[in-house]
Amino acid sequence: MPIPSSLIDHPGQIPSQTGRRFVVTGATGGLGIELTRALATAGADVVMAVRNTTAGEQAAERVRRTGAPGRVEVRQLDVADLASIHAFAGDLEQVDVLINNAGIMGVPQGQTVDGFEMQIGTNHLGHFALTNLVLPKLTDRVVLLGSHAHWSGRLDVDDLDHATRRYGGYPAYAQSKLATLLFMGELQRRLTAAGSSVRAVGAHPGYTATGITMHTGNGLFTSISRLGNLVAGMKPWRGALPVLAAATLDIPGDTYLGPRAAGGFLGSPAPARRSRAASDTGLAADLWQRSASLTGVDFPL
């Protein structure tokens, strides 16, 4: 089906979501709470899947105070912890849309509780496991969060943890976002082959002023990012528009959306380009096998 060059310009333009149920990971701030607010305002019931449930309840209360008709509830989920992912997915009821929003960017080298490099473990492997565990309960689609950074991503399926490569916070982030887009394409191919009507789609927020750049451990980078956010960054509600479009509009599987202006960094959502590496089906298949081996979770259909 053709996708229009411009989709929505405001959260209030998404279709009614009454009767639909969403999961939003990383829903306490930034894009996550904007997604939750917009979906609940459109009538959806939203499960806010968060690492810190105290912060999650505070965020949920802010949404409730808007008078949004949709119900919001908070559940504990740490996408950097496979045990937490299994517990969350095991307790989850049927859901229409899973939005894999949680993520980290450019952090100092570290490991998840399962021993994965922190960024690939959080941004890709955690959501890989979560998606495949939730898939039998999913009726409509999964939305994956990409980034312009994927264009510079270099992915080594045999060394996702940078054990034999020099670690850099931004290159590791770029690798994790390239992995996200490869996962999206391979997931859609598997869904299609299985005869499933579930769709795998993606979106990126362009240059949006959120706190994701504030935890790199590099004071200069943090200062520059803070200034950039003030001067040029979009408000989080605008950065959330491509994700809302991907989550609610009738678009084909493997569609990737992002801002349409300033080289894809600013503006309202439209179809977005992806790198040649992000479209490499062989690399995507290899990454899938490696991800399944590392997480112990595989395609369930």
Q: Give the three-state DSSP class for 113.
A: coil
- pTM of the entire structure? 0.90
Structure tokens at 199: 């769709």
pLDDT in tens, 140-190: 999 999 998 899 999 999 999 988 889 998 899 999 999 999 999 999 999
What is the chain's length?
301
Bridge partners, residue 269, by sequence: 259
For domain 11-206+239-292, which CATH number applies: 3.50.50.60, 3.40.710.10, 3.40.50.720, 3.30.70.260?
Answer: 3.40.50.720
Chain centre distance of CA 146: 7
pLDDT at 3: 63
pLDDT tier at 301, thresholds 50, 70, 90: confident
Name, in order, each residue with C-beta under 8 angstroms of 191's C-beta and a sequence gap of 6 or more: 198, 199, 200, 253, 301
Q: Give the three-state DSSP class for 98.
A: strand
Least confident of 212-221, 260-269, 272-281, 285-294: 212-221
Chain centre distance of CA 231: 25
pLDDT in tens, 66-124: 999 999 999 999 999 999 999 999 999 999 999 999 999 888 899 999 999 999 999 99
For residue 3, what are the CA distances in angstroms to 41, 245, 249?
25, 11, 10
Chain centre distance of CA 247: 11
Q: Say if residue 139's pLDDT is above 50.
A: yes
Active-site residue list? 173
**In the chain, domain spans:** 11-206+239-292
